Structure 1
Amino acid sequence: MRRRVAGSLIAAALLLPLAGCGDGGAGSGADAGTKVTVLAAASLTDVFEKAGAAYEKSHPGTDVAFSFAGSQELVAQVRQGVPGDVLVTADTATMESLEGRTGEPVVIARNRLTIATAPGNPHRITGLKDLSKSGLKVVLAAPEVPAGRYSRTILDRAGAQVRPVSLEPSVRAVLSKVELGEADAGLVYVTDATAAGDKVATVAVPDAQNAIASYPAATLDGSANGRAAAAFVAWLRSAEARKLLTAAGFETPASP
């Protein structure tokens, strides 16, 4: 019995260095077994789901999870200590409100607004001023939402006096109201209208009246996976990511 116990102890001792080498090999991989949580603006939902799948394919062992909401909600989550590794907002002002809590932001995409209406545009809306028509049910994003600020800016620029029937917490909520027939029209991003397909019709806003939305991405200082978070932010400016963003209707900055 003593010989058997001694033999087992010797075998275990011999295996310990091998186990240590195995752990070191896994840890030395490109963040193998790492989960990156990305807090992202609601208007990025469709394209980021594709981007996440593409990133995981090219980075085996890394799992990308997304939490989508209005940019102002994401900022509130960060301030409340909700765990996250990367933040992507729909405007620079919202990102800048977290100065001291993030890494250096980089703009990964740009967007523009368009008017979304019911299919066929039954109210014959031709431009921003038509959104002032009496009896027309218009929905906008709330003023604290980037899309809401952009909307108010371009409506004021066009001299359109619009009284929305509701102010929504995200641009996706605005789109949903139009899709469901609960609103006659709403201001959404071009990319949201593109993703909706034939569920809505669109009326283009001329460049001279439009606003450019910039999407900055940054690592969060509270991240438990800083290296993996930085790698994902860097990838968002890669040729592969730009191709996905462009296909979704976003404008992208030049390659770094």
Structure 2
Amino acid sequence: MKRRQVVAALAAGLLLTLVAACGGGAAAPADGAPVTGRVTVLAAASLTEVFTRIGADFEAGHPGVRVVFSFAGSSQLARQLVAGAPADVFAAANPVTMATVTASRETDGTPAVFARNQLVIAVPAGNPRRIVDLGGLAAAGTRVALCAPQVPCGAAARTALAAAGVAFTPVTLEQDVKAALAKLRLGEVDAALVYRTDVRGLRDVEGIEFAQSTATTNDYPVVALADAPNRAGAAAFVAYLLSADARAVLAAAGFEAPA
């Protein structure tokens, strides 16, 4: 009888272990709090496509969770957060913008860099103006779109142009990198400085690498907010974003791994 009881106990323990391994505990962060409900993530516009994929993967691994994204220029999102906008997670396109948020709101831990990105010169397919470097943007009659100075892609562009000794007046200053790229795709400009990931996979746009882009690589930090409406969900999303699975998705989209 005792032997049967021991065997039954061992079998029950094995069953519990298998259930946990198959996902029974996968939807909970390290502190054991269950992950349910809505997770609101404010993220840089350049993360739109890759975060949409990562969000879907995260939801698949956490039944009952819904990730809601708000994509815009990092500086715009930072202003919203400083003003008290509710959110669970913030992912910025550079540490400077992240710092404006962490200086005014408490966070659940220190911001962690999860990816890096570089600028390229975006031109129409075929490169009709034969632009090969930053100097080509200053050629007479060339219409260029840049991000506004306060936006991470705009700050990086100005650093690169200063390093190259190139000066010109852009025809438009956009509030996020997607808007700058849209101006090019609509034929309103001849070139735009955008991230390498923004032109990846596009048939109507080419991305031209330039020497100074490596000196202006942007680190992308992420942090969970201490006053997050869904603290467990925020912690779980950040943990997933830093996982090998999410980094593989980021790498496939053209993002570099953190230094």
Scaled by the length of structure 2, the TM-score of the pair is 0.83
* Cα distance, 1:81 vs structure 2: 2.1
Instruction: Quickly say closer, same or farther: Cα 1:105–1:209, change in 2 above 3 A.
Output: closer
Runs of 4+ more than 2 Å apart: 29-33, 206-210
Deviation at 1:208, TM superposition (A): 6.8
Of 192, 196, 209, the residue aligned with 1:186 is 192
8 Å CA contact 2:118, 2:214 repeated in 1: no
Aligned amino acid, residue 191 of structure 1: T
Aligned equivalents of 1:207, 1:174: Cα separation in 2: 20
Aligned to 1:134: 140
Task: Indicate the RMSD between aligned Cα atoms, in angstroms.
Answer: 1.4
The Cα offsets for residues 101-145 of structure 1, whole Å up to 9 and x where unpaired, read as 123100000000000011110000010111110110001000000
Equivalent pair of 1:158/1:209 in contact (CA under 8 Å) = no
Identity between Structure 1 and Structure 2 (%): 48
The answer to whether 1:241 aligns with 2:246 is yes
Q: 1:175 to 1:56 in 2, by over 3 A?
A: same
Unpaired runs of at least 5, structure 1 = 1-28
Give 1:33 deviation, angstroms: 3.3
Q: 1 CA distance for matches of 2:247 and 2:214? A: 26
Aligned counterpart in structure 1 of residue 203 of structure 2, from 187, 198, 210 = 198
Find the counterpart in structure 2 of residue 40 from structure 1: 43
Which one of 163, 179, 191 corresponds to residue 157 of structure 1? 163
Residue number in structure 2 paired with 1:168: 174
- C-alpha separation in 2, matches of 1:44 and 1:175: 14
1:220 pairs, out of 210, 213, 225, with 225
Q: C-alpha distance in 1, partners of 2:167/2:102? A: 35
Q: For 1:216, give the aligned amino acid.
A: P
Change (3 A) 1:156 1:215: same
Distance in 1 between residues matched to 2:63 and 2:158, nearest whole Å: 44
How many pairs are equivalent? 225
The answer as to 2:59 corresponding to 1:59 is no
Q: Which amino acid aligns with 1:75?
A: A
**Is the CA contact 2:160–2:213 (under 8 Å) kept in the aligned structure 1?**
no
Greater gyration radius:
1
The reply on whether 1:91 has 2:94 as its aligned counterpart is yes
